[in-house]
Amino acid sequence: MSFRANWQGFRTLLVPGAVIYHKVAATSSRDRKGRDRFDIMRRRNYILTLVKNYPATFLARYLPFIVISHFINFFLNILRGRWQVAFKIQYEIARMLPGMLEKRRSIMLGREIGNREMRALCSHKYGSLIGFLRKKLAPVIP
């Protein structure tokens, strides 16, 4: 949501100390099936969010890192015996990609700020390439 708000010219705030309480943990339950579903949704949504909201110049620049972190996640799931999770993520991305590309067209056509402005807004979030890699690879490294 913050991507779309920023593209429309609104400013968003990063509040590191903010806490969100969920009344019911519907997707991240303690059983294996719930954890698997949560992992599938988390990874799928991460990739689709980038596809939908990153301008082409961002995708071109960060694609190697996105692909590397995605395949590290894929192979770690395979090594951990989570074949179904690994392949379900790929299936979900492929299934939802056409719809995300259509939404992307709409978002990119309705932008109120340029790529340079958006890049400045995003740059402070991670601080650097190393910050980006730490943030994105931390969840997949055991």
Q: Is residue 19 part of a domain?
A: no
Indicate whether 13 belongs to any domain: no
Top pLDDT among 80 and 29 is at 80
Condensed to tens digits (0 to 9), the pLDDT of residues 91-137 reads 999 999 999 999 999 999 989 888 888 877 776 555 555 565 666 66
pLDDT at 137: 60
Q: Is residue 126 part of a domain?
A: yes
Describe the crossing of helices 129-137 and 115-126 by its angle, rounded to 10 degrees.
Answer: 70
Encoded tokens for 108: 């990119």
Between residues 132 and 44, the one the model is more confident about: 44
Of the two residues 82 and 124, the one the predictor is more confident about is 82
**Does a structural domain hold residue 14?**
no
Residue 98 is assigned to a structural domain of this protein: yes
Largest CA distance in the chain: 46
Kindly state the helix (H) or strand (E) to which residue 134 belongs, with its residue range. Answer: helix 129-137
Within a domain: 88: yes
User: Quick check: is 11 in a domain?
Assistant: no
DSSP 8-state symbol, 140: T
Distance of alpha carbon 56 from alpha carbon 139, whole angstroms: 26
Q: What total number of domains does the chain contain?
A: 1
Question: Between residues 97 and 8, which one has the greater pLDDT?
Answer: 97
Tell me what the mean pLDDT of segment 10-37 comes to. 76
Query: In which domain, by residue range, is 99 found?
Result: 2-6+25-137
pLDDT above 90 (res 7): no
Residues whose CB is less than 8 angstroms from the CB of residue 135 and which lie 6 or more positions away in sequence, other chains included: 126
Closest CA to 69 of 88, 96, 50: 50
Residue 49 lies in a domain: yes
pLDDT above 70 covers what percent of the chain? Answer: 80
